[in-house]
Amino acid sequence: MKRIGVLTSGGDSPGMNAAIRAVVRKGIYHDLEVYGIYNGYAGLISGNIKKLELGSVGDIIHRGGTMLHSARCLEFKTPEGQQKGIEQLKKYGIEGLVVIGGDGSFQGAKKLSEQGYPTIGVPGTIDNDIPGTDFTIGFDTALNTIIDAIDKIRDTATSHERTYIIEVMGRDAGDLALWAGLADGAETILIPEEEHKMEQVVQKLQRGHERGKKHSIIIVAEGCGSGVDVAKEIETLTGFETRVTVLGHIQRGGSPTAFDRVLASRLGAQAVELLLQGKAGRTVGIENNKLVDYDITEVLSRKHSIDRDMYRLSQELSI
């Protein structure tokens, strides 16, 4: 293998730049030429491809977003779109591809692999919803952004003795909500993986109120529905004054944490290592702090699940 490509796709996540840097530097270290594909699969189809040098990835390790830009590309879901992408890769003589992204990006990588094109998936998403790794690139940074925001909200919540509902991202996964709730001592955490009854949420709030609690923090994962609806229901059932914060895309930006930079560097480099070993159709990840790789089809057939022990603990600590 002489020439490889790298692209980022789907929702960006802090640490993607560190992963791109690792792919480029590790590739060049092993005498490969590395090409950057801009705008995800859309750029692959249109041939938005440029050679990257050592200096192209200088001064990006600490930056959020992705220097290669990203896109959600419907055309690449079609066999025609995939064919166009493969033709571009052949035109540029690119023999292996590293795809950094989440579930949708991995679906594209799987399609390329099925058509005999060597592709490795690197999990990059704030949602932490990719099987085959304990953590995805960007999760830790997003989590810290959420915690920083909740700490601030807590100050004003105490001053005004209100109930605060905070809606966090995560698509269908509750990891961001669960970890943030545990880290911030939230009274209630609503995640899509666990059923919840509003009467119980309300009872808990009322018990706290009777004990003289000055404020309550409720974290709602977006996969459970809207924080605004939860707030309305609580207000109707309790008469408590509520306020809602939807953290939104602030969670996707910002300088990656040290954890995400190190994770991204390890996973990006490992993806190149696998291509050099002639492996294809794999995903990279870390489990118990060790690098692992799995068949991409198998990873996509697995369902992501939350850590039930952590959820139980969050319940026990927020009585």
Binding-site residues for substrate: 125-127, 162, 169-171, 222, 243, 249-252
* Shortest Å distance, C-beta 158 to ligand F6P: 29
* Shortest Å distance, C-beta 43 to ligand F6P: 17
* Shortest Å distance, C-beta 192 to ligand F6P: 12
By the 8 A CB rule, do 104 and 10 touch?
yes
Query: For residue 63, how many other CB atoms are within 10 A of its CB?
Result: 17
Q: Return the biggest CA–CA distance within the chain.
A: 70
* Shortest Å distance, C-beta 224 to ligand F6P: 12
Cα dihedral 84, 87, 93, 95 sign: positive
Annotated binding residues for ADP, written as ranges, equal: 21-25, 154, 185-187, 211, 213-215
Nearer to ligand F6P, 119 or 145 (CB): 145
Q: Which amino acid is at 109?
A: A
Bridge-based pairing state of the strands 49-52 and 33-37: antiparallel
Which residues contact ligand F6P (rule: CB under 6 A)?
A: 11, 102, 125-127, 169-171, 222, 252
Nearer to ligand F6P, 102 or 268 (CB): 102
Nearer to ligand F6P, 76 or 117 (CB): 76
Nearer to ligand F6P, 3 or 72 (CB): 72
Decide if 127 is catalytic. Answer: yes
Q: Which long-range contacts (CB under 8 A, 24 or more apart) does 81-84 make?
A: 81/41, 81/45, 82/108, 82/111, 82/112, 82/115, 84/45
Of 12, 127, 140, 293, the catalytic one is 127
Annotated binding residues for Mg(2+), written as ranges, equal: 103
Residue 5: its H or E element: strand 3-8
Mind telling me the catalytic residues? 127
